[in-house]
Structure 1
């Protein structure tokens, strides 16, 4: 405990001063022979191999029948008369001035549409992707690439608006040179989709050639995608049949033992009307197996660890702004894992297969009967609870507790946080709510008033972590204290606590630092990762002092994040073990980036990693690699220019920033970076134009307005500077930097009254900030 105090004190002092080989490729996918690995012995198990579903179906016929025709079965198929659902009878579809034609020739399917240079060409359809409610189509390109068409087939019934071609970006103009064009890197199947639509997929990307030799064992999501390679299980079954092994072997040779529900039953509590598990769930193997693909996450390794915790192979997204609403509801396409982790059901031990058949993927019952498995119908499925008429849509449990959000134009997906509707939060935070999803003609306040009428005014005062996360996003006064309390609350979901910790980044005070250190020592790896992420605002030497041990954490995702955050920390004074741990974690970070080597962003990450270690040559090479893959990748252009700045090479950096500006003329960050470079070269008037343009493009960014104002003030245009700062203050009333500038500029121009007023606001915003208190005291003594 003593070291904690030393760490917090030291930081404040410093800041005050300063798997197996795949069986086949897309060109020739095949099935392993039925007799593969017949002599495998469970007691001395060799590395398991993939055997194929035909082998599985030999014993598991009912499961195979359920799986047949499921979304997993139809995840990817060769294009044929049997699998293609779209209209290829010379059907046409027009989008942004381009008319595409879908037709058949010699029994094959083709589309005539705009290619990578905007010219109309004919492309053969190689594979179908999905089936319901939409079907996409893959086209083969040189270098082993498969590209997903931006035009898809709406497979809903015609009565629902389906049976038509539609574009996945209907409200945008995606021309051939847009990063989202169907021929671009962001629509490449090998990276964007393949892993979760086939079994035992190996991407096999060559960075040197920028090409793929992607392989799979089975084209779709088959048995072993979830259960893992099955040869040991087959060997166990055959040995058991010969009497060599007892049938009651716990794992039965399975690499992934999906036994979370084995021997489980749910018993109703008559007082609450809610069922409880008869035994505590000790592992989350099933949810994490599903979470591999049903989550928004980053890949950490080219080889998925079957049966291992999710964080050994992936880094899931937290409840970050732009991805989730402040109250945790789904916003961007984040799938269901992050939502389900927030739910009371997850924490009660509910798993995916409690509600979904694991083979057909269908719900285990119809309508409210799914929920009635654990919620007594006589208590919950009645008007006194639903407050809706018997046969109305609002009577369905999911209408209120699992509202939908539509993705890909026609695909409504349910939020799996399974929450109580809170229209009062919609009023306060601007978040959506289930009530107004149906009652679209009414405002959120109307819904909030009805809830208060039904349940009393206390309901709207019920604490919710959404208010705290919103305060953290907005940096409101005392947000750090609220975030620290939320992060320390063991009754809250781990993903919520982790999200609160991540929002403490940039706060340097005893409350925040203590919360981060507690987070670094938490038993939940997601919380440790978030605490590491928030450490980025603390000087590198002190990061290592408090977090260096996490370079040897048992969880890969924690080690990789520790490596990123501690890259700039010096190796001086490290013990041999610490150096070994550091080297291992650093190698894992590089491996995680190279798992995504086909993405320019991964090489950007490597470049930043090396730059922080003081290795400019390696950093430059990484940035150059990113630009080889995508010459128009603006972040790499900017980072390379910044690397040159650190080397006093602005002459080399300026052309890069001007190239970035030509590519992204409406990118405020490029204008700001170029303005700063021009200031360093003494071209202040030219720089001012860039700062002005940046502020126009990004009026809601406090830093952009601040930089423009400081530039104006430096050139003697103080009144204009104050006007910019005041506008920024109105937009960002809780921004410390803006208030500090208003205090000092007014003080320097002799406007003591205004300076005092702003200084008081600064103290109210940061009551524990000694600099703010000192400024106010000095001004009041004048």
Structure 2
């Protein structure tokens, strides 16, 4: 296939986003019928779900749902006062809008219930923005989620900016059967959903076929219908199938980028719908502990619990969205002298004792989660726990700066004290050996060549897949033909993340070896890998492919195109499209893409740098200077832009 064929396909996404990108080859799933249709037969589950965080993830702005004080109250942050009022049953927020002017909007939706309740408004037809001043339901007061920020309305992280748009950053996980429906031609949303809140069908799938089955006296001859379970669902939570449940929960409880334009149909494998964030900075600490708001899945994949087959519902009541037991009880279900026959490899021991935790029984320090699930606050006051279930490693704090549970409480004593205490109390511990954290930390610092260590981690089959994939991403600055050869076995690894990240390391291989390695993965069973293969084939120096590879290449490229098309409201997408324009030497397309990136996010420095460089490279020095002036108006202290300023005549 000639390289121009890639240009023909991919520039559709860059310039027009054809509707063909949204076509479906698979048979349409059954219709969604709504939670109310489930109540008569599933009363107990409905009662557990009612009032849960899933039920109240998104509610209408009524007096029954709003718990904040809208009785002409106000909150002042860095000199800006926002007001909250109610008039004839309509609730209003008055604050600085997209143009910086004080504006009054009716509340359009309510988000959550505790420990905070947030609100969003409609700033233009169809576009909803999450307001940064929520209600603290514990302290009964307004507060700012980002108290250290002082952002003008022109900043992308202002509450009216692209990173606070409810339609594309939040709504999918707060609704059932959500479709973003962004039209890049007029830059407007017409988002839809079957139901606000996380209803029954958000996890169990569309219910029309199940209702038909339940209401039929005798089972139809052609039952189950194509692609459905014996009960008429698109997903089957069969005992012993841990991955189905975990990946369904992960669809929302993960830091990830979407391939689709809204909620995947329940039962869709995670890596067919999303690209999971690896353990990169600034999302994770070097040892894989949570840093930014990464939710749960990336942590859990690192854990021994995951490796041993523990699933979300072992600890959480999935309908009530609460733990099965309180305190240490949920952990002691397995980690006790009685053990748990479902997990025969468990070490039988008494953990709920001062001989293990060295704290007074019943105290905060005696809680399993205090040591093995560090908690960090996000959104100002919302505590989230790390689900990697790790043993505290003060030695890694000393070596890499990663936190540890001991000095979370004993900050004054510090990590050297904590390490000495652990060595004294657990002299034979197996948790003080080498750790990938030291290599990841060194790679993030970029001060030494750690490629050999990264390669060892990447190819260590005993390591969690997300760790190995991260090592491969960190290996990219060290690409070579030797590295490409070394990771070839990983192209057949069982973990889709490992296969996908191994693909990127083939760029340094000779073309005669790279292309044959990429081609089989164009037909990989997982969309994540197929898209990665299509992306790498874009720059492959080939003039023509044999006929048998034309169809899989076209199909995988179309999937990539579709994933770009449905995320056209993300500035990150236009950075990718700009890169495609550069690779295919379509400078006009690259410029248009980088321009759209800075239109959405005016502070996206890398896009401004590319605009200035491309204008200068094409001889448009006036355009380069004008673009640089625009960029410096947004980012006056950016070192890359200041360097360009010194270079331009």
TM-score, scaled to structure 1: 0.74
Map 1:364-403; keep pairs closer than 5 Å: 364-377=324-337, 379-403=350-374
Give yes or no for contact 1:642–1:653 (8 Å, CA) kept in 2.
yes
For residues 95 and 671 of structure 1, what CA distance do their matches in structure 2 show?
A: 31
Give yes or no for contact 2:578–2:592 (8 Å, CA) kept in 1.
yes
Give yes or no for contact 2:534–2:556 (8 Å, CA) kept in 1.
yes
Q: Quote the residue 1:214 is aligned against.
A: 191
Q: Quote the residue 2:293 is aligned against.
A: 333
Offset of residue 243 of structure 1? 5.6
- Root-mean-square deviation over aligned CA pairs: 2.4
Give yes or no for contact 1:551–1:585 (8 Å, CA) kept in 2.
yes
For residues 643 and 365 of structure 2, what CA distance do their matches in structure 1 show?
A: 50
Is 1:148 aligned with 2:130? yes
Change (3 A) 1:673 1:576: farther
Q: Quote the residue 2:320 is aligned against.
A: 360
Offset of residue 624 of structure 1? 4.2
For residues 509 and 494 of structure 1, what CA distance do their matches in structure 2 show?
A: 22
Offset of residue 552 of structure 1? 2.6
For residues 673 and 523 of structure 1, what CA distance do their matches in structure 2 show?
A: 45
Change (3 A) 1:243 1:150: closer
Give yes or no for contact 2:154–2:602 (8 Å, CA) kept in 1.
no
Is 1:322 aligned with 2:282? yes
Q: Please, which runs of 5 or more residues in structure 1 have no aligned partner?
A: 1-44, 157-161, 263-280, 684-782
For residue 286 of structure 1, the aligned residue among 231, 240, 245 is: 245
Map 1:448-463; keep pairs closer than 5 Å: 448-456=419-427, 461-463=432-434
For residue 630 of structure 2, the aligned residue among 650, 656, 659 is: 659
Higher helix share: 1
3-state secondary structure, aligned to 2:142:
strand
Deviations 1:89-137 (A, max 9, x none): 1212111111222121112211222222222222211211111111111
Offset of residue 205 of structure 1? 1.2
For residues 433 and 71 of structure 2, what CA distance do their matches in structure 1 show?
A: 58
For residues 505 and 377 of structure 2, what CA distance do their matches in structure 1 show?
A: 32
Offset of residue 73 of structure 1? 0.5
Moved more, 619-628 or 405-414: 619-628
Give yes or no for contact 1:480–1:511 (8 Å, CA) kept in 2.
no
3-state secondary structure, aligned to 1:196:
helix
Is 1:447 aligned with 2:421? no
Deviations 1:397-436 (A, max 9, x none): 1111111011111011000001111111111111100011
Offset of residue 585 of structure 1? 2.2
Deviations 1:518-564 (A, max 9, x none): 22232211101111234456677764353233223221111222222
Give yes or no for contact 1:451–1:459 (8 Å, CA) kept in 2.
no
Q: Quote the residue 1:431 is aligned against.
A: 402
For residues 83 and 413 of structure 1, what CA distance do their matches in structure 2 show?
A: 24
3-state secondary structure, aligned to 1:379:
coil
Q: Quote the residue 1:266 is aligned against.
A: none
Q: Quote the residue 1:581 is aligned against.
A: 552
Map 1:521-532; keep pairs closer than 5 Å: 521-532=492-503
Change (3 A) 1:666 1:538: farther
Is 1:98 aligned with 2:80? yes
For residues 435 and 603 of structure 2, what CA distance do their matches in structure 1 show?
A: 43
For residue 609 of structure 1, the aligned residue among 567, 573, 580 is: 580
Offset of residue 603 of structure 1? 2.2
Q: Quote the residue 2:234 is aligned against.
A: 255
Offset of residue 381 of structure 1? 1.2
Give yes or no for contact 1:424–1:460 (8 Å, CA) kept in 2.
no
For residues 196 and 407 of structure 1, what CA distance do their matches in structure 2 show?
A: 17
Q: Quote the residue 1:419 is aligned against.
A: 390
Change (3 A) 1:633 1:110: same
For residues 638 and 311 of structure 1, what CA distance do their matches in structure 2 show?
A: 33
Moved more, 630-639 or 106-115: 630-639
Give yes or no for contact 1:484–1:511 (8 Å, CA) kept in 2.
no
Offset of residue 515 of structure 1? 3.2
Offset of residue 647 of structure 1? 3.8
For residues 161 and 417 of structure 2, what CA distance do their matches in structure 1 show?
A: 46
Q: Quote the residue 1:86 is aligned against.
A: 68
Q: Quote the residue 1:29 is aligned against.
A: none
Offset of residue 610 of structure 1? 2.6
Q: Quote the residue 1:59 is aligned against.
A: 41
3-state secondary structure, aligned to 1:504:
helix
Change (3 A) 1:461 1:380: closer
Deviations 1:236-268 (A, max 9, x none): 2222x4465799996311111122xx2xxxxxx
For residues 539 and 171 of structure 1, what CA distance do their matches in structure 2 show?
A: 50
Offset of residue 141 of structure 1? 2.2
Q: Quote the residue 1:770 is aligned against.
A: none
Q: Please, which runs of 5 or more residues in structure 2 have no aligned partner?
A: 1-26, 338-348
Q: Which has the larger radius of gyration?
A: 1
Q: Quote the residue 1:309 is aligned against.
A: 269
Offset of residue 630 of structure 1? 5.4
Give yes or no for contact 1:109–1:125 (8 Å, CA) kept in 2.
yes
Q: Quote the residue 2:145 is aligned against.
A: 168
Q: Quote the residue 1:181 is aligned against.
A: 158
For residues 486 and 260 of structure 2, what CA distance do their matches in structure 1 show?
A: 30
Is 1:127 aligned with 2:109? yes
Give yes or no for contact 1:571–1:579 (8 Å, CA) kept in 2.
no
For residues 631 and 503 of structure 1, what CA distance do their matches in structure 2 show?
A: 28
Q: Quote the residue 1:278 is aligned against.
A: none
Is 1:196 aligned with 2:155? no
For residues 481 and 598 of structure 2, what CA distance do their matches in structure 1 show?
A: 42
Is 1:556 aligned with 2:558? no
Deviations 1:211-259 (A, max 9, x none): 11111111111000111111111122222x4465799996311111122
3-state secondary structure, aligned to 1:436:
helix
Is 1:348 aligned with 2:308? yes
TM-score, scaled to structure 2: 0.88
For residues 412 and 632 of structure 1, what CA distance do their matches in structure 2 show?
A: 29
Give yes or no for contact 2:156–2:600 (8 Å, CA) kept in 1.
no
For residues 28 and 546 of structure 2, what CA distance do their matches in structure 1 show?
A: 38
Change (3 A) 1:624 1:429: closer
Is 1:298 aligned with 2:257? yes
